[in-house]
Amino acid sequence: MTDTETVLKGLMLRGLAGDAAAHARLLGALAGHLRAYFARRGAEADAEDLVQETLLAIHLKRDTYDTGQPFTPWAYAVAHYKLLDHYRRKGVRRAVPLEDAGVLLASENPEEGAVRRDLDRLLGELPPRQRALLEDVKLTGHSIEEAARRQGFTPGAAKVAIHRSLQKLAGKVRS
């Protein structure tokens, strides 16, 4: 069991036993994970509504949770079906794969998945060599000399390419 699963299941069990504070902490902890989950599924505009609907469903249906089973797959299923209901209401025909519950709780930082998706989309605007150079220096932590050598640039050309790449990305973010 993951640490997140252990913590969330513990909060759920204490909530079921009547600990209102634990139940409130559970719903608060789930909110960030759900927000990131819905954003990754293309429902950014309606993510807050979907989070609230899912949290309400978890609250109202908590007595259906089988305490002998892991908690995150149960919570994931509730979120998954809320997303499908949302798509039906909007008239959107979209296939949403039913994958592991680990996708819902992909990291300890719930916003990390959404940030990574946005960063990947933004970096996708760059030519492959410039993207790799920028990732090597700014994300991986290589020196400019190392990254330049790895990507086939001279150190001076690498500095110019990084500067221009950052300017281009800053312009995209501003607009």
Residue with tokens 């954003």: 39
Q: What is the pLDDT of residue 52?
A: 92
Nearest to 76 by CA among 47, 111, 105, 45: 105
pLDDT at 156: 93
Please spell the DSSP secondary structure of 106-123, one letter per residue.
-SSSTTHHHHHHHHHHHH
Give pLDDT, residue 24.
92
Residue 101 confidence (pLDDT)? 44
Each residue's pLDDT expressed in tens, for the chain with a length of 175 residues: 568 888 999 999 999 999 999 999 999 988 888 888 877 777 777 778 888 999 999 999 998 888 888 888 889 889 888 888 887 887 766 554 545 444 455 555 555 555 666 777 788 888 888 888 888 888 778 889 988 998 899 999 999 998 998 888 888 777 6
The alpha carbon torsion through 119, 125, 130, 133 (nearest 10 deg) reads 10
Which domains occur in the chain, in start order? 3-109 (1.10.1740.10), 124-174 (1.10.10.10)
In angstroms, the CA 64 to CA 139 distance is: 44
What's the gap between Cα 157 and its chain centre? 35
Q: Which amino acid is at 79?
A: A
User: 79 near 54, Cβ under 8 Å?
Assistant: yes
**H helix runs in the chain, sequence order:** 3-16, 20-40, 47-60, 71-90, 112-123, 128-134, 144-151, 155-174
Which pLDDT does position 175 carry in this prediction?
64
Q: Please identify which residue in the block is written with the tokens 């559970």.
A: 26
